[in-house]
Structure 1
């Protein structure tokens, strides 16, 4: 079923500054853009560049004063969604080169600090069963609390506090997956059913592809339980939230309004 997306936000730049935006649904094989409309205020300079792993695009702009973005799209998702706990893991030496960076620690995902806990708590599991166990543990032990974290909150901080928002749930799952020698990356997305409606964050793990001997593939996992991978529209991916923020300003900015709505097409 197609997914209808609407997103709008504004910000004010007191002086001419560079801004990197990433909010559009990615045009990739597993999701087809049926319609799309992106309208922005006039910028002093505007360019599109490929995003991380060539999933989606980023918008480079230079502007000053008030800037508005209004975006809408209809996207058809066609993604295979196997039962995650049936999938095997690939040994690290079997991984393709592009998956290796997602085994390593990153700004918000301090892998080494969680290795001891992961080994003792999930040591009896492996592969997709390990990922499912981690997902379920987070869902059972964390509280979703708006405003309980900020731009400095790491996976370790969230693990200690046992609370956060979708960004924090994703960081903890990613860090624990990497501590299990399973590549994991951060996904920014749109999905119906997310409360409150917003840019959503979830994880994606690299496990064996049962249709290809010795092959692997990326699979979406949402520890919040709000997003169905079969209806999730990817915006972009990265090592953690720092790589795929919808807005990064190289200068001062005052953020204004933001509104996101995602629904199944009637």
Structure 2
């Protein structure tokens, strides 16, 4: 079990070359962490000059930082220290409906028959969660660069390979297909290797949202929530509208003070 005095330090540095004027949206800051102490600092520079973004609060406290940018170099820098464990995420009735529906990258309707055949005999949702996570982790190979940004869960299953978001999309689609509400969460993940923004699934099991990571790349107990949504369309760390950009550099950091927690696929874990 993680300690209620756990200290996690997370952050990122992004360099974005704007080659045609655009509107940028970043989702790199932590969602609110009620119950934990958070100290953070966020800065944006455009060709070395400070930029003040508009902050938009989305679903589940997701924070979007938005601003217009002319041609030039945009640098985003974020650092946060989280002391203690946040309260378990709330459960809303609307979420239990929304996260049963098929979505852009988690096409649960394409998996109804398949999931029923593979997992339909498992009535206990805790066992179902473990089996689906293990099944996806066994069937897929983690291969950086093996998937396209437009690939959904069905593409991932056919390819047999992907990165964290692909694993999470397939887990989410299969869970929804067997009537378990599931969603995607982007996180900072201490211990993740290779270090990057990480994507995991969350499933509604035993009256709480439980985090599922079929990649097994990092202990779930030390992950910290950034954005939550239907799939990667809702949780991307960077979006641009019109114009043209190129991501020139990205460094993500996530560490925990002391030893990393030990994780087990048999354990139900809540993202805190």
Identify whether the pair has TM-score above 0.5, normalized to the shorter chain: yes
Q: 1:151 to 1:31 in 2, by over 3 A?
A: farther
**Distance apart, 1:30 and its partner CA:** 5.8
SS of 1:109's equivalent in the other structure is coil
Asked if 1:6 corresponds to 2:4, the answer is no
Asked if 1:36 corresponds to 2:40, the answer is yes
Structure 2 residue aligned with 1:51: 58
Structure 2 residue aligned with 1:98: 95
For residues 182-225 of structure 1, give each alpha carbon's deviation from its aligned partner in whole angstroms, at most 9, with x where no partner exists.
1100000001111110000000011233xxxxxxx211111111
Q: 1:30 to 1:245 in 2, by over 3 A?
A: farther
Structure 2 residue aligned with 1:225: 216
In the alignment, which of 20, 28, 45 is matched to residue 23 of structure 1?
A: 28
Structure 2 residue aligned with 1:262: 254
> Partners of 1:13 and 1:52 in 2: how far apart?
28
Asked if 1:61 corresponds to 2:58, the answer is no
Structure 2 residue aligned with 1:117: 114
Structure 2 residue aligned with 1:92: none
For residues 112-166 of structure 1, give each alpha carbon's deviation from its aligned partner in whole angstroms, at most 9, with x where no partner exists.
2111121111122131211110001111221100000011111001111111100
- Listed as ranges, the gaps of 5+ residues in structure 1 are 82-94, 210-216
Answer with 24-33 or 236-245: which moved more. 24-33
Structure 1 residue aligned with 2:265: none
Structure 2 residue aligned with 1:131: 129
> Partners of 2:35 and 2:97 in 1: how far apart?
22
Q: Alpha carbon RMSD of aligned pairs, Å?
A: 1.8
Structure 1 residue aligned with 2:105: 108
> Partners of 2:146 and 2:219 in 1: how far apart?
24
Aligned length: 244
SS of 1:99's equivalent in the other structure is helix
Structure 1 residue aligned with 2:200: 202
TM-score calculated relative to the size of structure 1: 0.86
Answer with 182-191 or 108-117: which moved more. 108-117
In the alignment, which of 165, 168, 181 is matched to residue 167 of structure 1?
A: 165
Answer with 226-235 or 182-191: which moved more. 226-235
Structure 1 residue aligned with 2:78: 71
Contact 2:193 / 2:218 at 8 angstroms: preserved in 1?
no
Contact 1:45 / 1:63 at 8 angstroms: preserved in 2?
no
SS of 2:41's equivalent in the other structure is strand
Structure 2 residue aligned with 1:191: 189
> Partners of 1:75 and 1:67 in 2: how far apart?
26
